[in-house]
């Protein structure tokens, strides 16, 4: 058995995998935040609560006999629709105002949503079992790979790069990019920009809910599961650059891995390493690694 810098390879690769899993969630969540911020100019602090709602929706669906696979599609749609309602009722009134108002409103919504779920379901967490097809795992020789975790990484990569492709390479994406720059002019070309904004918010919220469904079999379904995660995800977004799609994806996965490696080499810093990186990036490149200063 070989060792690397005195670390057994199982521990190293195990943490690397754990980092990739966390990175998958960071990437999906920060991608949703980036899409929403780019189009709506809203810092969506309710994102963590919407991630939690995705997990809970999967849990509720299971009570009706609807399992994991359909839930992957249905839960993001249901939670996305609640996002559309929030956008129509509240957010659309804030676009002309400072970012701070959107942040405060969505922060308040997050507290209300989390409070309601905690009142109803407590904070101990509800179990959600792994789909049978993905239980077990493979021994890769140097490490044991649980099938479900491999699936999370692959699905997250597919969804992230699919979203990137749509935004950067398709006609719909061209409308979105153009409307981010100059919504008035895009609307004067005959595009219903307000509807596009509403659907974009619904999509971003749906991404959060998808991450929630994917998380349900790994972490317990818990009203506060998003509150813990969202702080790290905001650090990821700041490091990547607010509103940058590729920045959100690369930084999400990259910081997950860095966090995992820190657990191996300097465990004491593993909870703070992302925030240290955030501080350094803010000092050297305030617009973020992939962000454009304006």
Contact flag: residue 186 with other proteins (CB under 8 A): yes
Nearest to 159 by CA among 18, 292, 31, 5: 31
- Selected from 135, 182, 271, 272, the binder of other proteins by CB under 8 A is 182
Contact flag: residue 97 with other proteins (CB under 8 A): no
Q: Are 209 and 159 in contact (CB under 8 A)?
A: no
Q: Which of residues 122-161 bind other proteins (CB under 8 A)?
A: none
- Selected from 4, 158, 174, 231, the binder of other proteins by CB under 8 A is 174
Helix (H, G, I), strand (E, B) or coil at 85: helix
Kindly indicate which of the ranges 62-70, 144-152, 171-179, 275-283 contains the residues binding other proteins, using the contact rule CB under 8 A: 171-179
Q: Are 35 and 205 in contact (CB under 8 A)?
A: no
Nearer to other proteins, 139 or 294 (CB): 294
d(C-alpha 91, C-alpha 76), whole Å: 20
Kindly indicate which of the ranges 121-129, 157-165, 187-195, 215-223 contains the residues binding other proteins, using the contact rule CB under 8 A: 187-195
Nearer to other proteins, 22 or 180 (CB): 180
Kindly indicate which of the ranges 16-24, 104-112, 174-182, 208-216 contains the residues binding other proteins, using the contact rule CB under 8 A: 174-182
Contact flag: residue 220 with other proteins (CB under 8 A): no
- Burial class for 136, CB neighbours closer than 10 Å (0-12, 13-18, 19+): exposed
d(C-alpha 54, C-alpha 210), whole Å: 6
Contact flag: residue 166 with other proteins (CB under 8 A): no
Contact flag: residue 268 with other proteins (CB under 8 A): no
d(C-alpha 163, C-alpha 279), whole Å: 28
Print burial letters for 159-173: b (CB count within 10 Å at least 16), e (below 16). bbeebbeebeeeeeb
Contact flag: residue 187 with other proteins (CB under 8 A): yes
CB of 195 to other proteins, least distance (A): 9
Strand runs labelled E in the chain: 137-139, 144-146
Altogether, the residues listed in the chain come to a count of 294
Contact flag: residue 10 with other proteins (CB under 8 A): no
d(C-alpha 84, C-alpha 75), whole Å: 14
Contact flag: residue 65 with other proteins (CB under 8 A): no
CB of 174 to other proteins, least distance (A): 5
Kindly indicate which of the ranges 15-23, 173-181, 202-210, 271-279 contains the residues binding other proteins, using the contact rule CB under 8 A: 173-181
Positions that interact with other proteins (CB under 8 A): 171, 174-175, 177-178, 180-182, 184-193
């Amino acid at each position: 058995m070989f060792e690397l810098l005195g670390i057994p390879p199982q521990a190293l690769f195990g943490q690397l995998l754990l980092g990739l899993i966390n990175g998958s969630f960071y990437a999906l969540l920060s991608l949703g935040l980036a899409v929403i911020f780019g189009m709506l100019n809203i810092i969506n602090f309710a994102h963590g609560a919407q991630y939690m709602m995705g997990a809970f929706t999967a849990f509720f669906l299971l009570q009706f006999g609807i399992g994991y696979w359909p839930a992957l599609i249905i839960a993001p749609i249901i939670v996305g629709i609640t996002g559309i309602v929030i956008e129509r009722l509240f957010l659309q009134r804030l676009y002309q105002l400072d970012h701070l108002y959107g942040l405060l409103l969505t922060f308040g919504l997050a507290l209300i949503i989390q409070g309601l779920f905690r009142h109803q379901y407590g904070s101990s967490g509800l179990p959600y079992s792994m789909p049978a097809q993905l239980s077990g795992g493979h021994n890769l020789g140097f490490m044991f790979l649980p099938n479900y975790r491999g699936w999370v990484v692959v699905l997250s990569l597919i969804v992230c790069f699919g979203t990137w492709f749509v935004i950067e390479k398709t006609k719909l994406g061209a409308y979105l990019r153009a409307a981010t720059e100059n919504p008035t002019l895009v609307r004067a070309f005959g595009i219903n920009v307000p509807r596009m904004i509403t659907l974009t918010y619904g999509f971003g919220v749906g991404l959060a809910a998808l991450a929630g469904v994917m998380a349900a079999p790994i972490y317990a379904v818990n009203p506060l599961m998003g509150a813990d995660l969202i702080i790290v995800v905001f650090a990821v977004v700041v490091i990547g650059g607010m509103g940058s799609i590729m920045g959100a994806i690369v930084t999400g996965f990259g910081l997950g891995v860095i966090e995992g490696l820190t657990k191996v080499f300097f465990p004491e810093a593993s909870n703070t390493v992302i925030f240290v990186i955030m501080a350094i990036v803010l000092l050297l490149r305030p617009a973020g690694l992939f962000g454009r200063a304006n």
